[in-house]
């Protein structure tokens, strides 16, 4: 059991309680900001000297994630440790967990790192969660490739590890394409998933404490473009209320079955069921705060990052309340190179987007991640749009998207 680490309390080393995070990207940065706002010191382990989280943390340990001396420094500095991304070595978290509370655990992260283990967990959780993944088959040998069930085609071949934002996956129409795709992916362990006719996509973020207390944020409706999240809508009418409730229940069940501690995001596909009614298919999970949960910073009385701090520190987890309808717009580095979204006018040097015009619109909240250079496809920040009504939020979002040259809400 984790002990409670009270904000503003002194540690045994004579400094304020220090919370650590493995990884120094934008999710780590926003965790650090939330922890510092509550009165904690923070430490970040990340090899990048310009990591967004490291630049603002009290301590930045610049070593590889599996460096023994770096891990020892993190343990010496911190009373408890979390992670900001699932691809941190699970072995490093296991080492840390032998000496300090680590949430989520190395076992939970290892499950989320591997699609085969992840899908097996979803299947085990199905009796309580009520959802299953898409039909799939693991492929890591030529024999398993040849034995892949024909009814999984057309499908999507995904690497079992290290795939994210549409990377490491290829659509395949037939067996010849499947074999070619496995070659293209380097014949690494993969999962073949049946291609489903999606009606929509959604995600749920929950926070679970070491005592088993689990709370859920509202359900997010997500729009992806080129495999990367573009928009998240969280407001009345975005999703069917009964379907959203089922997604929340399923996510809590998945977290409980893992004995999970921390913030967990589970993504779902929405498809037409056998009776024509919309139903859920569980896609994947992220053992951390998630891009689709960024709206919580401005639309809820508890953000996903404060929930991460609370779960790690053993503090109470009240049920989050959304006080404003919200839409989140993901901001990729392309905005800095494509004036008004016109690729034909792509510039060689980055140019700052029209933030003054965007921020003149009521209810706009800009969050940039402190990254020192913009690149195509790189997540540079996000924009949360809130308002008194759904109509107001959608109207403001339409104006924002026009200013930034991005596709409209219904594009």
Return the domain boundaries, the chain.
18-102, 135-194, 200-404
Distance of CA 11 to the CA centre of its chain: 31
pLDDT value, residue 340: 64
How far apart are the C-alpha atoms of 37 and 313, rounded to whole Å? 14
Whether the CB-CB separation of 121 and 287 falls below 8 Å is answered with no
Beta carbons within 10 angstroms of residue 185's beta carbon? 18
Q: How far apart are the C-alpha atoms of 400 and 379, rounded to whole Å?
A: 18
Q: Answer yes or no: is pLDDT of 341 > 80.
A: no
Q: How far apart are CA 181 and CA 185, in angstroms?
A: 6
Contacts with 45 (C-beta within 8 Å, 6 or more apart), sequence order: 20, 21, 22, 23, 24, 61, 63, 65, 70, 71, 73, 74
Q: Are 129 and 121 in contact (CB under 8 A)?
A: no
Domain 200-404 carries which CATH code? 3.30.470.20
CATH superfamily of 135-194: ATP-grasp fold, A domain (3.30.1490.20)
pTM (predicted TM-score): 0.94
pLDDT confidence band for 19 (50 / 70 / 90):
very high
Q: Which of 41-50, 117-126, 301-310, 372-381 has the lowest mean pLDDT?
A: 372-381
pLDDT of residue 168: 82
Mean pLDDT, residues 121-137: 97
238 backbone φψ class: left, alpha, beta (φ>0; ψ -120 to 50)? alpha
Q: Compute the distance between CA of residue 135 and CA of residue 13 in angstroms, rounded to an integer.
A: 52
Contact call for residues 203 and 268 (beta carbons, < 8 A): yes
- State whether residue 354 is helix, strand or coil: coil
CATH code: domain 18-102 is 3.40.50.20
Mean pLDDT of all residues in 345-356: 84
Average pLDDT over residues 361-387: 95
Average pLDDT, the chain: 94
pLDDT score of 11: 84
Give dist(CA 320, CA 316) in Å, integer.
12
Return all residues near 346 (Cβ < 8 A) that are at least 6 apart.
Answer: 337, 338
Taking residues 257-267, what's their average pLDDT? 97
Q: Cis peptide leading into 154, omega within 30 of 0?
A: yes
Element housing 243 (H / E): helix 241-258
> What is the DSSP annotation of 305-349?
HHHHHHHHHT---PPP-B-S-EEEEEEEGGGGTSGGG-GGG--SS
pLDDT at 164: 63
Is 80 exceeded by the pLDDT of residue 342?
no
Q: Quick one: pLDDT at residue 349? A: 83
Say how many C-beta atoms besides its own lie within 10 A of residue 174's C-beta. 12
pLDDT at 1 over 70: no
Q: CA 76 to CA 73: how far, in whole Å? A: 5
Question: What is the spatial distance between Cα 178 and Cα 163, in angstroms, rounded to a whole number?
Answer: 17
pLDDT bracket for residue 188 (50, 70, 90): very high
Per-residue pLDDT at 211: 94
Question: CATH topology of 18-102 equal to that of 135-194?
Answer: no
Average pLDDT over residues 134-160: 94
> What's the pLDDT score for residue 163?
64
More confident residue, 1 or 175: 175
Taking the CB of residue 173, how many other CB atoms lie within 10 A of it? 11
Q: What is the pLDDT of residues 272-330, one digit of tens each?
A: 988 888 999 999 999 999 999 999 999 999 999 999 999 999 999 999 999 999 999 99
User: 194 and 174 in contact (C-beta within 8 Å)?
Assistant: no
Judging by beta carbons within 10 Å of its beta carbon (0-12, 13-18, 19+), is residue 383 exposed, middle or buried? buried
pLDDT at 367: 98
User: 397, 327 in Cβ contact below 8 A?
Assistant: yes
Report H helices in 26-105: 26-37, 68-77, 90-97
């Amino acid at each position: 059991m984790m002990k409670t680490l009270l904000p503003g309390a002194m540690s045994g080393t004579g400094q304020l309680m220090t919370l650590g995070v493995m990884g120094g990207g934008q999710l780590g940065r926003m965790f650090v900001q939330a922890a510092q706002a509550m009165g904690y010191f923070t430490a970040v382990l990340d090899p990048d000297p310009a990591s967004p989280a490291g630049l603002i943390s009290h301590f930045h340990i610049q070593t590889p994630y599996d460096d023994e001396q770096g891990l020892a420094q993190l343990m010496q500095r911190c009373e408890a440790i979390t992670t900001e991304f699932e691809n941190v070595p699970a072995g490093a978290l296991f080492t840390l967990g032998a000496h300090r509370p680590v949430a989520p655990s190395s076992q939970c992260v290892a499950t989320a790192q591997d699609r085969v283990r992840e899908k097996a967990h979803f299947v085990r959780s199905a009796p309580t969660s009520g959802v299953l993944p898409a039909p799939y088959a693991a492929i890591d040998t030529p024999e398993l490739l040849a034995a892949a069930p024909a009814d999984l085609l057309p499908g999507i071949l995904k690497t079992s590890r290290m795939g994210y934002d549409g990377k490491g996956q290829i659509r395949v129409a037939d067996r010849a394409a499947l074999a070619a795709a496995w070659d293209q992916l380097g014949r690494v362990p993969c999962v073949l998933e049946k291609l489903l006719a999606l009606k929509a996509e959604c995600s749920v973020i929950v926070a679970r404490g070491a005592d088993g207390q689990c709370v859920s944020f509202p359900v997010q409706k997500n729009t992806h473009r080129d495999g990367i999240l573009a928009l998240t809508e969280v407001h009345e009418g975005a999703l069917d209320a009964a379907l959203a409730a089922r997604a929340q229940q399923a996510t809590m069940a998945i977290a409980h079955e893992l004995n999970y501690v921390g913030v967990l995001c589970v993504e779902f596909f929405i498809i037409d069921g056998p009776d024509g009614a919309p139903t859920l298919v569980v896609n994947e999970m992220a053992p951390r705060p998630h891009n689709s949960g960024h709206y919580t910073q401005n639309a809820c009385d508890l953000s996903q990052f404060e929930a991460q701090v609370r779960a790690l520190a053993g503090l109470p987890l009240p049920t989050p309340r959304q006080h404003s309808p919200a839409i989140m717009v993901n901001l990729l580095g392309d905005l800095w190179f494509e004036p008004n979204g016109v690729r034909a006018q792509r510039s060689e040097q980055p140019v700052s987007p029209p933030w003054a015009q965007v921020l003149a619109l009521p209810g706009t909240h800009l969050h940039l991640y402190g990254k020192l250079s913009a690149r195509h496809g790189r997540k540079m920040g996000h924009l949360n749009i809130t308002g008194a009504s759904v109509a107001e939020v959608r109207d403001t979002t339409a104006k924002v998207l026009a200013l930034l040259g991005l596709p409209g809400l219904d594009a």
